[in-house]
Each structure stands twice: as C-alpha cells, then as structure tokens.
Amino acid sequence: MAGMAEVARGAGVKAEVVEAVFNELLRILCAGDAVRVKGFGIFERKLYQGRTLRTPVIPDSQVTFPDSYRLRFRQSSVAKRRLNVRLRSKAAKAARVGKKTAKPSPAKSLVKMNKHERYKAAKAAKRKQRGKA
C-alpha cells in the first residue's frame, strides 16, 4: 500500500502538498459539504443513526452507540473504467486468440423469472415438444 510520500513522489510534488490537500478535503467534509473530484469520484459524509443493543452475556444490560458520521466515497464512471481496463484488455486478447475466459452464463432459472417470463418459457417448451413429437 502506498503512503503519502510515495503518492507525492509519483506526482512530482512535496508530501506536504498532498497532506494539505487531504486536510482541506476533511475540513470541507466536516463542514457538511461533499467534495467532487472530476474523473475520480465523490467524497461525502453520511450520518449513521445511533442505536441501543442488548448484550447477550449480561441480562438486562444495554450498550448505547451514539449517532456518528462516516466517510462515503462513490467512484466515477471514468475511474471505474480506468480500474478495469486491464481486465477488459485480457478478455479482448483471449477473444482474439480464441480462448474462453469464462463459462457462458446459464439460462435463467424459473425461480428468477417473473410471471410473464415463466409463461413465455412454458409456451416455448410446449412448442418445442410438439415439434419433436
């Protein structure tokens, strides 16, 4: 895992600059605003409601957890594509060579089908059966 010094070295800036960027990001998040980094994603804080739980060891004893904020990150579609480029290129290379990368997806099971799809599948099966007989 890379640290701030390695990230700074890779970007060609001082580690203090990278640290200042993250400190500013946290300051904005603490103020309640979201931070959008174009091509990377969105940082935002999310409130998790407090709760009271009973301990199974000691009867009639409760532990209370207060409300808390947590950091939430949603990646952008650009970042997702860049992360998965190697997987896509391997699949494309395997397709050119003629190798199979994965098993073909099985047909939908009747359990996962909705009512209309089950009706259509049953009708197609009857037609197929009549054609063979």
119 in a domain, yes or no?
yes
120 assigned to some structural domain: yes
Same domain, 55 and 72: yes
**pLDDT for 104-127, tens place per residue?**
555 555 556 777 788 888 888 888
- Whether residues 60 and 87 share a domain: the answer is yes
Mean pLDDT of the chain: 84
Q: In this predicted structure, which of 20-24, 33-37, 66-70, 123-127 has the lowest mean pLDDT?
A: 123-127
Q: If you average pLDDT over residues 84-111, what whole number do you get?
A: 64
DSSP secondary structure, 68-89, as one string: EEEEEEEE-HHHHHHHTHHHHH
CA-to-CA distance for 5 and 121, rounded, in angstroms? 59
For residues 97 and 108, membership in a common domain is answered with no
In a domain, 38, yes or no: no
The stretch 57-81 carries a mean pLDDT of 91
- Asked if residue 66 is part of any domain, the answer here is yes
In a shared domain, residues 74 and 50: yes
Same domain for 98 and 47, yes or no, is: yes
- 43 touches 30 (CB < 8 A): no
Task: Examine the domain organization and report whether 96 and 114 are in the same domain.
Answer: no
Instruction: Report d(CA 93, CA 88) in Å as an integer.
Output: 9
Domain that holds residue 13: 1-33
In Å, how far are 65, 73, 101, 102 from 86, measured between CA atoms? 43, 23, 14, 16
- pTM here is 0.56
**Has residue 23 been placed in a domain?**
yes
How many structural domains are present in the chain?
Answer: 3
At residue 36, the pLDDT reads 96
Same domain, 11 and 29: yes
Measured distance CA(117)–CA(123) in Å, rounded: 10
